[in-house]
Homo-oligomer: A and B are copies of this chain.
Amino acid sequence: MAEYIYVDFDELKTVCVGILKAEKFPEEKAAEIVDVLVEADARNIPSHGIARLERYIKERNAGFIDCFSEPETIFETPISAIVDGKDGPGQCVSKKSMELAIEKASKNMIGLISVRNSNHYGITAYYSEMALKNDMMGIAMTNSYPLVVPTYGKESVLGTNPISIAIPGKIHPFLLDMATSVITRGKLEVYNRLEKEIPDGWAIDEKGKSTESPSHVIKNFNERNFGGILPLGGLGEDFSGHKGFGLSVLVDLLTAGFSLGQFSAETYTTNNAGVCHFFGAIDLKTFGNVEEIKDKVDQIINSIVNSEKADGQEKIYYHGEKEYEARKESLKNGVKILKNTFDKIKKLASDNRITMGQQ
């Protein structure tokens, strides 16, 4: 059984920032990185949380992440920009790029930013959500390390390539954040640790056949062999796997295609990560009266979540709701962290002579 520990939200941030600072990350950048990571844990998305801290330090040490560089705008119009991330930390590059999108949208109703030469940026919803407080629709997506196979293929040339869209409402902000694959690598690893079989339609082996063995898929990843995770919709076209495949390609075109960067299969192949992102902000004023639109968003979401439940089900969740609830809980009772993850953080802290509060 997995053991958990509850850590105060702010305390957790302070400790993690301290670790990155001790590891020679500049303070401002450390704070930006940690902010995104702790938000993930607070929302119960531990795969994108502080467990990544160690990996980021390793990637900095290996030269993938340049924690001193500043992103550069290399092309610009009043409503758009191409940003070169200069191998900076994904969180820092992305926060600045999304701020630029919002600034452009404040002036000209819309801002669209395509980014190249960045790194892993954490949870996608963090950036799309930034637009909500300005009564803007937010868009964020990223390509990523290749783990996903095309429909009828067996070579993982696509990332899990998540898409997030945020739309403001008065009661219910809509906050979709979805990998375009049927599952993430994190889920595969959970099943592997539990020594559980995975269902048909999640992943394929090196021949392109569906497999029930998560360890087999992970072994193939580690040996850079064929096989991988299936796109949303699963194997072939019977359950519309070609649609997930299409959404994944779309992400690579908007991120790497528009920024002339590296597409998923090309990330982490050279001396940089080369991850590419896409961000957008659209002021709701673009479509008329903001208050009326937000009321309408609430009304549509209300109608959907109040519709008849399947027998045995109690609730239809709107997108973002589970994460908002988890965040509220985390602020009140502490952020739930796997003991295993927490022990690693403690070790990183003690290696760097950082004092932690009593947990």
Q: Most B CB atoms within 10 A — which of A114, A153, A250? A: A153
Report how far A182 CA is from B232 CA in the complex, Å: 10
Q: Most B CB atoms within 10 A — which of A207, A243, A282? A: A243
Report how far A239 CA is from B318 CA in the complex, Å: 18
Report how far A256 CA is from B27 CA in the complex, Å: 45
Whether A153 contacts B257 by the Cβ 8 Å rule is no
Q: Which residue of B lies closest to A262 (CB)?
A: B300
17 contacts between A and B (CB under 8 A): A77-B285, A82-B288, A110-B110, A114-B287, A150-B307, A154-B308, A158-B304, A167-B257, A207-B310, A207-B311, A209-B311, A232-B244, A249-B318, A257-B296, A257-B297, A260-B288, A265-B303
Whether A233 sits at the interface, judged by CB under 8 Å, is yes
Report how far A199 CA is from B114 CA in the complex, Å: 40
Whether A326 sits at the interface, judged by CB under 8 Å, is no
Whether A260 contacts B293 by the Cβ 8 Å rule is yes
Report how far A238 CA is from B250 CA in the complex, Å: 24
**Chain B residues with CB under 8 A of A285:** 77
Whether B176 contacts A247 by the Cβ 8 Å rule is yes
Whether A95 sits at the interface, judged by CB under 8 Å, is no
Whether A350 sits at the interface, judged by CB under 8 Å, is no
Whether B256 contacts A308 by the Cβ 8 Å rule is no
Whether B263 contacts A300 by the Cβ 8 Å rule is yes
Whether B303 contacts A257 by the Cβ 8 Å rule is no
Query: Whole-angstrom distance from the CB of A272 to the nearest CB of chain B?
Result: 18
Query: Whole-angstrom distance from the CB of A84 to the nearest CB of chain B?
Result: 12
Whether A309 contacts B154 by the Cβ 8 Å rule is yes
A251-283 vs B, Cβ < 8 Å mask (1 yes, 0 no): 011001111100101000000000000000010
**Chain B residues with CB under 8 A of A60:** none
Whether A240 sits at the interface, judged by CB under 8 Å, is yes
Cβ 8 A contact of A165, one of B201, B238, B250: B250
Whether A338 sits at the interface, judged by CB under 8 Å, is no
Query: Whole-angstrom distance from the CB of A313 to the nearest CB of chain B?
Result: 4
A168-201 vs B, Cβ < 8 Å mask (1 yes, 0 no): 0000001010110011000000000000000101
Apart from the given pairs A80-B109, A176-B250, A182-B239, 9 other A-B contacts in the complex at a CB distance below 8 Å = A80-B287, A112-B282, A149-B310, A154-B308, A174-B250, A178-B247, A242-B317, A253-B297, A258-B288
Cβ 8 A contact of A319, one of B114, B183, B246, B257: B246
Whether A155 sits at the interface, judged by CB under 8 Å, is yes
A201-245 vs B, Cβ < 8 Å mask (1 yes, 0 no): 110100111000000000000000010000011100011101111
Q: Which residue of B lies closest to A308 (CB)?
A: B155
Whether A208 contacts B300 by the Cβ 8 Å rule is no
Q: Which residue of B lies closest to A234 (CB)?
A: B239
Whether B300 contacts A256 by the Cβ 8 Å rule is yes
Q: Which residue of B lies closest to A202 (CB)?
A: B239
Cβ 8 A contact of A253, one of B174, B246, B263: B174
